[in-house]
Structure 1
Amino acid sequence: MASAIGDLLGSDADSLLNHVCKAIPKETLHLPGPDFVDRIFIPSDRNIRVLNNLQWLFQSGRLAGSGYLSILPVDQGIEHSAGASFAKNPAYFDPENIVKLAIDGGCNAVASTFGVLGMVARKYAHKIPFMVKVNHNELLTYPNQANQILFGKVKEAYDMGAAAIGATIYFGSENSGRQIVEVAETFYHAHELGMATVLWCYLRNNAFKSDKDYHVAADLTGQANHLGVTIEADIIKQKLPENNGGFKALNMGGSSYGKLDERMYTELCTDHPIDLCRYQIANCYMGRAGLINSGGASGKNDFADAVKTAVVNKRAGGMGLISGRKAFQRPMAEGAKLLHAIQDVYLDKSITIA
């Protein structure tokens, strides 16, 4: 298995498979493992029903018992428009095919909308953990705006047998204050009812794009993660970092933005992709809240890109991958194969924590 993964990594194999993190040592992290719920969440304020559902997530799919998660997210019908998302494979206009792909792909859970999961809940809610995405950025308002709004109530997710809910906050947007309050209240209610909580900690602000796209800067995404765990997200979803120095760039020209300490860049991180991801994990309470990175858009090298992302996440100390478009924008058997390729990284014991 390691040989196949190495082949997909190509010229990046040595750098990614043999890197050692020295900035934030692995010994300081709370790493995924079969006992993660017992070790991390039993001492917390989560009630017994939340522990049950978290354990269900970790005991499902091909990664069952490993402490890692592979999740299929298909909310792009709203977030990116249904036509743009499903034109490559119209079968996924049908909600049942979304759930089938998650099952055939060996995922721990399927994440989608109230409508998608509610339409097939009686047939599938007991067969694979449901994660209901409760808010979305609809794209029909003109001009388009970055504004996540609630599409339903937590009780609806509970009634359809969901194990968890997911939500997005666009940190840095003009609507972020309202979204923080809404999602914090929503997560509290979900925990009351016994569901786990997953937060998409995304950044949205036109000012974050200048010489680089700092929406994927380690320092800014790390702080977004830290805000996410503050409102008791059990699991954080974040884009893989591609650069660093967002706070520094936004403070150029005499503006005053955020707070920084040079040691964030000189002592806690390097420019290696695994170190950048580890900084994200440090901001998730040193891994007490698991970090799952997103798989990103579909492209020409989906298998190699997905495996590379999984290797970076795993070696950094992350908890898994949540990959949608790379899987559902292709025939179902091929999509399941891609999901298996991601999972193989987490099942390969020779790929260790850096």
Structure 2
Amino acid sequence: MKTDKNIIELLGEKADFYLEHVCEKITKDELQTPSKTSLDKVFTQSNRNSQVLRSLSQLYNHGNLGGTGYLSILPVDQGIEHSAAYSFYKNPDYFDPENIIKLAIEAGCNGVASTFGVLGLNARKYAHKIPFIVKINHNELLTYPNKYDQTLFGKVKDAWDMGAIAVGATIYFGSEESNRQLKEISEAFEEAHSLGMATILWCYTRNEAFKTTKEDYHTAADLTGQANHLGVTIQADIIKQKLPTTNYGFKDLQYGKYDDAMYESLTTEHPIDLCRLQVANCYMGKIGLINSGGGSKGASDMIEAITTAIVNKRAGGSGLILGRKAFQKPFQDGVELIHAVQGVYLEKKITIA
């Protein structure tokens, strides 16, 4: 695991910027922060049944971060979302689904998230060894011309039958198809909860109008924050979101509901403050926010992954769901990178801002 000294060296001149920042708009005292008792504090008085609590407990208490309140999840559904050849050409071993699960186990992840095919093919061998999260919908890119729509690929009951403890799904908030996706996934989550499974929602924004010549607002804190709020409304137990890189989506795009004062009172331009707004939209941290690790860029992957983890943790988030930066590398390099990210969450000197 990386130590505090290693992390400081990786951050270089940006160390103080990330490690010494204090959030003054939404303070840490207002949040439900991750801890070993988080599930008890949040869910024991909720409408989640005992089986859902057991499933969440299995997830939060597995792997190197088990019992900390934080999550390290390996997600690999890019074979559908980005095409298999494009996703796996850097490391063809991952065309074999078993290697995906082996990576998650070797790296000490809390769980592995993938497709019906990947997890189903290996269910009897591994479902009792690491928590399975079945991604039930996808955006396939073989249709010509490409379209961007999340489509159900299977049934919740199939995920339950293979021993999965949770289902995951994506909604493209802001897209023309979002209302249909919202209805489909809210119904799927209701069924998952009735079967005792946890639910994780990829709360992504998607609309061509969100990307302008000035800025790409798909990762604006206000838009992604509202997507998170919609996600917790349909009772996602965990929210997955991209790290915010900007703000003022509603204001600059001139739509929705906004007030200049809301930006001033809730956040600043600091990346930890922007992420804190995402956490706040997850019922002030009561529903865990896990940020995505993003694509692989090669030599900069380690520092980017460490930085994302620090921003998420210090903002009050609940961990990282990191895939491409790990599986597009040789096996042991991927393990090392995931361990480094886990080290951020295990490092007690890195505190919530």
Aligned-residue offset at 1:9: 1.3
1:267 to 265, 274, 280: 265
Aligned-residue offset at 1:261: 2.1
Paired letter, 2:183: V
Q: Which portions of structure 1, spanning 4 or more consecutive aligned residues, are displaced by more than 6 angstroms?
A: none
The match for 2:286 is: 288
Aligned-residue offset at 1:264: 2.3
Q: Does residue 1:179 correspond to 2:177, yes or no? A: no
Distance 1:302 1:158 in 2: 35
1:10 to 9, 12, 15: 12
Distance 1:26 1:191 in 2: 30
Distance 1:215 1:101 in 2: 30
Report the secondary structure of 2:17's partner residue. Answer: helix
Paired letter, 2:27: P
Deviations 1:222-255 (A, max 9, x none): 000000000000000000000000001111xxxx
After the TM superposition, which residues 320-339 of structure 1 pair with which residues of structure 2 at under 5 Å, given as runs?
320-339=319-338
TM-score (norm 1): 0.98
Report the secondary structure of 1:287's partner residue. Answer: coil
The match for 2:275 is: 277
Residue segments in structure 2 that go unaligned for 5+ positions in a row:
none
Aligned-residue offset at 1:11: 1.9
Paired letter, 1:315: R
The match for 2:148 is: 146
Aligned-residue offset at 1:263: 2.5
Aligned-residue offset at 1:3: 0.6
The match for 1:254 is: none
The match for 1:118 is: 120
Paired letter, 2:264: T
Report the secondary structure of 1:259's partner residue. Answer: coil
Residue segments in structure 1 that go unaligned for 5+ positions in a row:
252-256
Distance 2:154 2:85 in 1: 23
Q: Does residue 1:348 correspond to 2:350, yes or no? A: no
Paired letter, 2:283: Y
Distance 2:262 2:320 in 1: 25
Paired letter, 2:43: F
Distance 2:148 2:278 in 1: 23
Paired letter, 2:256: G
The match for 2:316 is: 317
Distance 1:263 1:221 in 2: 19
2:45 to 20, 30, 43: 43
Distance 1:65 1:195 in 2: 19
2:239 to 229, 236, 248: 236
Aligned residues: 349
Aligned-residue offset at 1:7: 1.1
Distance 2:46 2:236 in 1: 12
Paired letter, 1:50: V
Deviations 1:173-194 (A, max 9, x none): 1100100000000000000000
Distance 2:267 2:238 in 1: 22
1:34 to 33, 36, 40: 36
The match for 2:205 is: 203
The match for 1:227 is: 230
Paired letter, 1:306: A
RMSD: 0.5
Aligned-residue offset at 1:154: 0.2
After the TM superposition, which residues 70-109 of structure 1 pair with which residues of structure 2 at under 5 Å, given as runs?
70-109=72-111
Deviations 1:303-326 (A, max 9, x none): 000000000000000000000000
Paired letter, 2:279: I
Paired letter, 1:44: S
Report the secondary structure of 2:244's partner residue. Answer: coil
TM-score (norm 2): 0.98
Report the secondary structure of 1:64's partner residue. Answer: coil
Distance 2:342 2:260 in 1: 37
Distance 2:242 2:13 in 1: 23
